[in-house]
Amino acid sequence: EGVTLSGGAEIITPPADLSLKSNCNSSGKLVALSSMTSAIKKNFVSKSNRIAIRITAQNFFKFATTRYSAAEHEDYVTSGHIGLEPNGYDYAYIYVIVDGAIQKKLVWSGWTEAYCVFDLPKGNHMLTIQRATEGNQPILIHDISVQDI
C-alpha cells in the first residue's frame, strides 16, 4: 500500500498451499524484484533523527518437487533443476536507499531479515529497495518495517 514499483518489479500472490508468508504479512502478497533495475519505493515521515528499517526478503529458488503440478504453481516449483549451479551462490544483494544514503544488504535463499539504521533529519523521506545483483531467480520482498528510534 502506498508503494511505487519500477524496473519490472511486480506484486505477486503465490498459491496459499506453498506457505510463502508469515504472521507479519497476512495479505499473502509479495514484491518480486527480478532484475537489477527492479525497485520498490515508499515515502515515509520520520519523527526522530534516527530510523531502523527491517526488510524480510528471500532470494527465491523454485522448490524441487513433484508434489504440485497445477499451472498456478509453475512459477514456484520445478520437477527438475532449481537453477543453483555448482560453484554458484544461493544469496543475492539488495540496496536499501534513503534519500541517497545507500546500504547494501545480503539476502539468503531462506527468509532473511535485513536490518539498517539511518541517521537523518526529521521529516519526509523516500525509501527505495533495489536489487543489487543479477540472477535467474527473483528476490521476494515479504515485509518492510520503518521505525523511529
The pLDDT tens digits of the residues spanning 122-147 come to: 999 999 999 998 887 888 999 999 99
**What pLDDT is attached to residue 13?**
84
Domain count, the chain: 1
Is the predicted pLDDT of residue 27 greater than 70, yes or no? yes
Range picked from 16-25, 34-43, 84-93 for highest mean pLDDT:
34-43
Q: Domain of residue 30: give its range.
A: 3-148
- Average pLDDT of the chain, as a whole number: 85
Q: Quickly state the pLDDT bin for 46 (edges 50, 70, 90).
A: very high
Is the predicted pLDDT of residue 95 greater than 90, yes or no? yes
Terminal CA-CA length for the chain: 23
CATH number at residue 21: 2.60.120.260
Pairing mode, strands 50-59 and 139-148 = antiparallel
Q: Quickly state the pLDDT bin for 111 (edges 50, 70, 90).
A: confident
Is the predicted pLDDT of residue 102 greater than 80, yes or no? yes
Q: Quickly state the pLDDT bin for 29 (edges 50, 70, 90).
A: confident
**What pLDDT is attached to residue 1?**
63
**65-84 residue pLDDT tens:** 666 666 666 676 666 666 66
